[in-house]
Structure 1
């Protein structure tokens, strides 16, 4: 229930001095302060009961108190004095809107500053923070500020310039301990400014300046005005230095509130207390009613609200906004559309009651993937209670719930109860949610990613020539399985069977600068963290274990920076590969993509597409909707983190390898800094072809030395090398046109590609980047009766050769060729080029019951698996890990594909 505000309660707020010094006047109560607009320094010459509207742009005279209304106006001065009085503030400012107030505050920041903000914010706040992050060089960390301990790792003693809080948050009404967060910030970053958005409460119910905040702002459009007939924003503070800066910014920008709106806002504030008393009393009744029906209700006045105790320690009431979940978005839409007294609006704080769906309205500007990562339910309904009679409000809401089918009459209980079908929907949603939770003991994610080949443009790409890269059918696989011992481990089966495990709490958390949800990793790696990893958990590794060492650093680095507060999943990550390591086929990018995807999934920073609603019964059918079942936004997030891992492994990668590993298909890449258009562009309509990839197994290749040698050759023979580069560019352009041409017959296309491959390799030989082993492989494929086109791929100096296999190539010839190459001690891989990118085994099973969960995997296996029933014996482990680690490389792909449906980019 809503706490009752004691009308006799007094506040340590300024009270106008008495007219006579004969007796001491007691402090006024809050409602009296609201209604009493007095400014001893600005007495009206005519004794008007209401502050006049000084509707003028300029004032006559020289050196007067006012000269230009942008800089100051008597009506606005009265309002600002009044706002400061009721806000426990030394300074108050009023501007054109709540967002204008936040804009003024954010102008206190400079490029390079860091701001910590909540992860459940008003949509407009999120939009403005995204803008300053993108255009002003300010780093924004979105953190769960309702967990004080989760905020601490993001506080930097010199970089953190501002902390932005909301409590209660909008629209989930989570509670932040304003006092505790301010204390932690002041101890760790003394110069940081703590800012609180107090719009949900108003100064009547909460005054954050009393709890350590430096700046408080309100959208005065809401409760302070109360009638939705004006737009205004309020900023208050007690620090003189901040007050001077804010006054300067407002005067410079010119967004101070107009005289007429200042007058209207003054009028609205006079009734703030009586309005809020009625509104929050009615809100408590509405919240209790919905809670009694069994809906999940978010309101700090309810006994089971997780932040209730904190809220009532720092606030004087529960407010007039609540939200609730129905378990079904379409059902919520019907409820919202079915009300009459509750007006559909994006705002709140009006004397009239309002209803909305935040994800469709006020928070629609936040990316759906971000909303999901922050736990914002798409079915959420927000109610903003007005001053109408609560009986009428409840009756109107009840009729909307009945008409939508959300509640039904129970004859036994003789009352309306929540409809059984909506409860079943909640159970299904809850079960699906549990599948993706990192707290599940059976958590398991199985991921795969392709390698890549450079078809055209190797080495020349360093000098501005376009390179054509494509995915290959050989893939890396990554599997996460849960541990129950507070440890994290990695098993790189195909890298010397490397295995290592570490105590999670002993990892170098002290060196971590976490990256919050919806935040991108900085352009530069955190070298201090890399050093802490290499000198700490990986100090035992030798130089002979360089491949394993690099992979372990990349994995641990991402694990540490992606952790969310104290939630640190205990998992094992096993990686397998059908790609040869170190052959120039993008094995590191494929590994990076698998590792990044796994860690993003276990930390719930991304999620797979949700299940469609079942048509009947319990059967749930999930369609992967073709090859692009993984949404582009998720692919983009994975690609960003795969690039971070690639930086750890290679220092300054181009971004081509990880992009192909995530998106698949083929792309054209041109380096920045040259006259041609730089960047990566997908080659649409790319066809899949059979290729033979042959690992030359040349040890000790030095890519940097090869690149340097070509650079030296260019310096010594500029004209000759320039001609070679021009020729290679023509090859890339022709290949790109041919690959994207939907009208070119496949036989003609293969003929064109074959000729271009031979020509490209000839030019690469002229640049001096081939190797005798590659030439031997090329001669073997060129010999009669094969007559196939082969070229090097990747860095050269060894590595891998790619051979185009025509569609009509004899299977007998192919077997003989593979045998000949193997006899020469090279490793041939027959595969395809141009397939799918990132793959995740579908987390939703089909035609599957708990009793069928046995050690032998069948099609439709779930990842992560559902919790087995108690009847399933513990020894009958359903984990993929044992079979995955023991599976031969030759069987790995077929086995993985047979586990069930895969979702692909």
Structure 2
């Protein structure tokens, strides 16, 4: 079945006998048992809920995994993921990660005894030199947030398979519509469902997609024990959002290419980070492992004054955190998404006072360019 059809019809399991087209919202905390020792398959909504299960099955089909666990936020999903590891375990991680992930690893995971090597996985292809006896996984985000680094998933998977490590890939920026890390060798795929999967900036969600039953069962035990399950109503919002994932991603990507090309011609813009530009160092890898380039653009302007002017003068474009929705958003990573990353570390990656991130929506590209033009003038 084509992925565009999966987005709309997804899991065909019948949850309703009235003929309703929309999946029911089972807004129930608990479920009655038909008899002692018997179950309908649903006992308590922290463990499983029919609406959430329907959503999880859709995500599993989209990512072509073995199963999915849905969480209340993307960070709840990554927090649960880290419960797979114990004191003394070691992970190799990309050096450019979402600021919340960086904060979790730095403040919580390290406190809990987990050790990290931070590596530019888009450039350093010899990851074997970082592997220790205690190494358990490699965690990459590709394209990365916010500098759009692209890591070769297949190449990293060859290393993890050889050394019996888990490969974890945050696939938020491209969504399963444009990239499927499990098909490239990943063991676990991470999503902030808040972003492209939801697509409307109206709910929070997170997902972990497992490639095997063994990993899936471990994640389900962690989920029901730690308790950050996605609610039935939020599950329904995600089901609704995913129905338009394909047409949203196509339009957003189309707009992003037009805007990236325009930004490249602006005298006040020093550098454009968009993986769909042929000059991007990850362009060829992206062509090989993805079905498109997505709609995330970062760019550096001439000075801090210009950056602040742009943020304060945009009208159609909204100055806000988050990404992936139908509305175009502009973000100032140094003050927002990456404010907790130490300044020296942040600036070494180019995330400075002149660096901006644009999540391109589905508006008219001409209108978006006019807004950027007047804000830069």
Aligned to 1:167: 142
CA distance in 1, matches of 2:292, 2:310: 28
1:234 to 188, 207, 213: 207
Q: CA deviation at 1:369?
A: 1.4
Once the two structures are superposed, the pairs formed by residues 112-127 of structure 1 within 5 Å of their partners are 112-127=88-103
Contact 1:168-1:200 within 8 A present in 2 as well: yes
Contact 2:60-2:68 within 8 A present in 1 as well: yes
CA, structure 1 residues 133+256, in 2 after alignment: closer, same or farther (shift >3 Å)?
A: closer
2:256 to 274, 283, 288: 283
Please say which structure displays the higher CA radius of gyration: 1
Matched, 1:186 2:171: no
Contact 1:199-1:218 within 8 A present in 2 as well: yes
1:152 to 111, 116, 128: 128
2:283 to 298, 305, 308: 308
CA distance in 2, matches of 1:309, 1:37: 31
2:367 to 382, 387, 392: 392
Once the two structures are superposed, the pairs formed by residues 564-583 of structure 1 within 5 Å of their partners are none
Structure 1 residues 229-276: Cα deviation after superposition (integer angstroms, max 9, x where no partner):
110001101211110100000011111111111111100000000011
Aligned to 1:429: none
Once the two structures are superposed, the pairs formed by residues 587-736 of structure 1 within 5 Å of their partners are none
CA distance in 1, matches of 2:182, 2:254: 25
Q: CA deviation at 1:169?
A: 0.6
Aligned to 1:224: 197
Aligned to 2:265: 292
Aligned to 2:173: 200
SS in 1 for 2:12: coil
Once the two structures are superposed, the pairs formed by residues 539-554 of structure 1 within 5 Å of their partners are none
Once the two structures are superposed, the pairs formed by residues 420-459 of structure 1 within 5 Å of their partners are none
SS in 2 for 1:268: helix
Aligned to 1:109: 85
Q: CA deviation at 1:285?
A: 0.3
Aligned to 1:79: 55
Structure 1 residues 808-857: Cα deviation after superposition (integer angstroms, max 9, x where no partner):
xxxxxxxxxxxxxxxxxxxxxxxxxxxxxxxxxxxxxxxxxxxxxxxxxx
CA, structure 1 residues 168+390, in 2 after alignment: closer, same or farther (shift >3 Å)?
A: same
Aligned to 1:366: 341
Aligned to 1:128: 104
Once the two structures are superposed, the pairs formed by residues 732-881 of structure 1 within 5 Å of their partners are none
SS in 2 for 1:135: coil
CA, structure 1 residues 164+135, in 2 after alignment: closer, same or farther (shift >3 Å)?
A: same
Structure 1 residues 679-727: Cα deviation after superposition (integer angstroms, max 9, x where no partner):
xxxxxxxxxxxxxxxxxxxxxxxxxxxxxxxxxxxxxxxxxxxxxxxxx
1:54 to 4, 11, 26: 26
1:339 to 298, 301, 314: 314
CA distance in 2, matches of 1:153, 1:346: 36
Contact 1:144-1:150 within 8 A present in 2 as well: no
SS in 1 for 2:334: coil
1:320 to 263, 279, 295: 295
CA distance in 1, matches of 2:42, 2:97: 38
Aligned to 1:721: none
Could you say which structure has the greater relative contact order, defined with CA pairs below 8 angstroms and 6 or more residues apart?
A: 2
CA distance in 1, matches of 2:126, 2:375: 40
Q: CA deviation at 1:374?
A: 3.4
Aligned Cα root-mean-square deviation (Å): 1.3
Query: TM-score if structure 1 supplies the norm length?
Result: 0.40
Aligned to 1:142: 118
Matched, 1:32 2:8: no
2:186 to 191, 210, 213: 213
Q: Which runs of 5+ in 1 are unaligned?
A: 1-27, 403-905
Contact 2:327-2:363 within 8 A present in 1 as well: yes
Q: CA deviation at 1:334?
A: 1.0
CA, structure 1 residues 148+177, in 2 after alignment: closer, same or farther (shift >3 Å)?
A: farther
CA distance in 1, matches of 2:182, 2:149: 20
Query: TM-score if structure 2 supplies the norm length?
Result: 0.96
Contact 1:39-1:81 within 8 A present in 2 as well: no
SS in 2 for 1:286: helix
SS in 2 for 1:149: coil
Q: CA deviation at 1:376?
A: 2.8
Structure 1 residues 211-235: Cα deviation after superposition (integer angstroms, max 9, x where no partner):
1110001000000000011100011
SS in 2 for 1:45: coil
Aligned to 2:70: 94
Contact 1:148-1:181 within 8 A present in 2 as well: no
